[in-house]
Amino acid sequence: MYNVKSQIAEEFINDSEIRETMAYARENSNNKELIKSILKKARECKGLTHREAALLLECNDQEIINEIYEIAREIKHKFYGNRIVMFAPLYLSNYCVNGCVYCPYHLKNKTIRRKKLSQEEIRQEVIALQDMGHKRLALEAGEHPVENPIEYILESIKTIYSIKHKNGAIRRVNVNIAATTVENYRKLRDAGIGTYILFQETYNKENYEALHPTGPKSDYAYHTEAMDRAMQGGIDDVGIGVLFGLETYRYDFVGLLMHAEHLEETYGVGPHTISVPRLCMADDIDTADFKNAVPDDIFYRIVAIIRIAVPYTGMIISTRESEKSRARLLELGISQISGGSRTSVGGYVKPEDESENSAQFDVADHRTLDEVVGWLLDLDHIPSFCTACYREGRTGDRFMSLLKSGQIANCCLPNALLTLKEYVKDYASPEVKVKAEAMIQRLLSHIPNEKARATASKYLDAIDHGERDFRF
């Protein structure tokens, strides 16, 4: 039985409810009057139910699709402006005991090289990331109780936060590790993590169990209920996502939105981020073995409708997507992207040789961080390295209340400009410096609050004279 506030996986992600929703969407896909009423509601920026969103996804009327894109752009601009938060993944270890059939880290893969970073190697990788200009990392590790225990993750976080190199510092560490206990989530919270990220992969229980035949991750309920335990452990910024292509996109789209609704209804705050990776090639993994690949046109609609349905959430796209695809998705709702990423274990100090072969998936966008920053500026996006809300305690419902009220604009825009200025002074190429300085000067006047604008101007001048780390 469907119960949005239940903490039992099969009740808040209820198979019957998903299938009834999909049937409802099919039956009403040509009901223009109903669809127009949903679009009118969407423009109020208060979100949509999973059923309303599913109906929009099912509609193939081009006029309606164009309006969906228009609303998505409006909502993205209203809450996030043209700011794009930058981050990089850091893979600590690819040792894993799970049997996930779509991931090259699976236990039976004997061709991939197994690696694990020591604390000194982590230190060197972080210095390399700082020298690129990164301020925000997403830690990744396979699930292995011996090689990657929680103590290793906690020690690694401590190491990362301790490293101050020249003007560099990692100011926010997000963590993407396997589902764990409430006690361990408390330990992660106490270690000062930003967002706890865990992808569901697929919400279809039967398919999930077939895709995860062995290992701790095979427990559907334990995995699906992880965000509840994280919230109970005091982590109030959580990030969800599915790997589109493992299941039909309709099923996982509905499941994803039901999960967001569950978090909002149960804990008073929805997901801080939603990630939308698509299945791609990797060592020992051939996408041709999976029949549910999502074409570009459908994928763009998925992103746009998620933005409409969950207007306040940050949306993340990785280097799985090409430059062309990323440019399109930025318009439709994406607010965070990675830049200069490596999906190998380490790989920032020295790019991994092909023979080492430790990567989790093939990267489609191979550009450096500076090239990505310059590209964003050309597209009139503000590359932001901001971590201010996390460091000021504006997380969970406190962050969402600021966002929903519109007051966040007096924080986000100046913080984005200040961190871009830091990048300009410390890391940017001459060409990118010219572009970024022009944008900073142009957008300084767009800060709504006069006092905030004056303070931002003062801080920018201080950065020019060697000071760092100002925030609103």
pLDDT (tens digit, 0 to 9) for every residue of the chain, 472 residues total?
A: 999 999 999 999 999 999 999 999 999 999 999 999 999 999 999 999 999 999 999 999 999 999 999 999 999 999 999 999 999 999 999 999 999 998 888 888 888 889 999 999 999 999 999 999 999 999 999 999 999 999 999 999 999 999 999 999 999 999 999 999 999 999 999 999 999 999 999 999 999 999 999 999 999 999 999 999 999 999 999 999 999 999 999 999 999 999 999 999 999 999 999 999 988 644 554 666 778 989 999 999 999 999 999 999 999 998 889 999 999 999 999 999 999 999 899 999 998 776 666 566 567 888 999 999 999 999 999 999 999 888 988 888 778 777 777 667 678 999 999 999 999 999 999 999 999 999 999 999 999 889 999 999 999 999 999 999 999 9
CA dist 201 to 65, 212, 241, 256, 302, Å?
A: 26, 10, 7, 10, 16
pLDDT in tens, 309-335: 999 999 999 888 999 999 999 999 999
Cα 467 to Cα 397: distance, rounded to the nearest angstrom:
32
Q: 328: exposed, middle or buried (C-beta count within 10 Å: 0-12, 13-18, 19+)?
A: middle
Q: In this structure, what token pair is assigned to residue 249?
A: 């996109």
Q: 79: exposed, middle or buried (C-beta count within 10 Å: 0-12, 13-18, 19+)?
A: buried
Spans of all domains in the chain: 9-76, 80-366, 405-464
Beta-strand pair 336-338/172-176? unpaired
Pick the CATH number of 80-366 from 3.40.50.150, 3.20.20.70, 3.40.50.720, 3.20.20.450: 3.20.20.70
Cα 223 to Cα 397: distance, rounded to the nearest angstrom:
24
Q: Is the pTM of this model over 0.75?
A: yes
- Which residues fall within 8 angstroms of residue 346, CB to CB, at 6 or more apart? 90, 91, 115, 117, 121, 125, 352
